């Protein structure tokens, strides 16, 4: 399936490509395939392709001299037959502790949604989420697939210090804060794993198109995993969705 894409010059070094404004897995797969195709064909140049829900930003290593030539190159790549397919997405099982110590907004969230805390935890941990893109903070996963029963607008007044590992809900999305940060999402738990490490060859092993499954754990198991993480003895292991 192909889409009617819109191409714009974003600045003197980059081009922005837009898809229809829907959060949709078919659009996500099309963006990933196009991104792979661009990176595969521009491997001799330093070209960075940055994806979001409905867009792809192409950043060149030099000034764009002829924008129409660049547009035509990109359009040809989109319709080419040698598109590199993302054939093996991975599923990552991420432990989350919903204990009151971590889920600082869980009680209030439950009241606003007229659900028990147990129901909130169940509704949040049951789905298999799709990673649409990574942004806001290095390693911050934007996940699609949250139950509509848990949709809740962001806080009117953001928290100035959301703790690293906080699992939170904002609007129609859920995610994990990879580091201490201000944030306006409702914090309902915490994960002990480290999603981003700048010292690693691959700082964030999870990529767009992958899947995420939250696994509820008790406080004791959380502490045990955190101890392993702090001593570099914990490895997050993926599973193939094709298995």
pLDDT for 71-91, tens place per residue? 999 999 998 865 556 557 789
For residue 243, name the pLDDT band (cuts at 50, 70, 90). Answer: very low
Domain count across the chain: 2
Q: Which residue has the higher pLDDT, 42 or 208?
A: 208
For residue 42, name the pLDDT band (cuts at 50, 70, 90). Answer: confident
DSSP reduced 3-state for 120: helix
In a domain, 13, yes or no: yes
**Same domain, yes or no, for 46 and 166?**
no
Domain stops at, among 14, 44, 79: 79
What is this structure's pTM? 0.85
The CATH number given to whatever domain includes residue 68 is: 3.30.1360.40
Helices then strands, counting H and E runs in the chain, come out as 5, 14
The CATH number given to whatever domain includes residue 169 is: 2.40.100.10
Give CA angle at 184 (179, 189), nearest 5°. Answer: 60
**Torsion from C-alpha of 103, 105, 108, 109, nearest 10 degrees:** -90
What confidence score (pLDDT) does residue 22 get?
A: 86
Distance (Å, whole) CA 92 – CA 211: 6
Domain that holds residue 193: 90-240
Domain stops at, among 57, 79, 101: 79
């Amino acid at each position: 399936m192909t889409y009617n894409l819109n191409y714009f010059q974003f600045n003197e070094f980059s081009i922005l490509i837009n898809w229809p404004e829907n959060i949709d897995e078919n659009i996500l797969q099309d963006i990933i395939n196009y991104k792979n195709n661009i990176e595969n064909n521009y491997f001799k140049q330093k070209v960075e392709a940055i994806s979001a829900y409905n867009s792809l930003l192409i950043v060149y290593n030099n000034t764009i001299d002829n924008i129409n030539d660049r547009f035509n190159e990109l359009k040809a790549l989109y319709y080419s037959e040698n598109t590199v397919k993302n054939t093996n997405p991975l599923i990552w099982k991420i432990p989350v502790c919903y204990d009151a110590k971590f889920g600082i907004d869980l009680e209030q969230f439950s009241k606003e949604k007229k659900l028990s805390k147990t129901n909130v935890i169940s509704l949040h941990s049951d789905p298999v989420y799709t990673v649409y893109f990574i942004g806001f903070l290095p390693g911050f996963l934007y996940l699609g697939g949250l139950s509509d029963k848990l949709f809740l607008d962001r806080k009117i007044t953001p928290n100035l210090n959301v703790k690293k590992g906080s699992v939170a809900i904002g609007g129609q999305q859920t995610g994990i804060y990879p580091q201490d940060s201000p944030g306006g999402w409702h914090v309902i738990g915490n994960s002990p794993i480290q999603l981003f490490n700048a010292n690693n060859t691959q700082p964030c092993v999870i990529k767009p198109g992958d899947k995420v499954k939250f696994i509820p754990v008790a406080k004791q198991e959380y502490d045990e995993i955190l101890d392993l993480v702090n001593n570099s003895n914990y490895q997050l292991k993926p599973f193939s969705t094709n298995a």
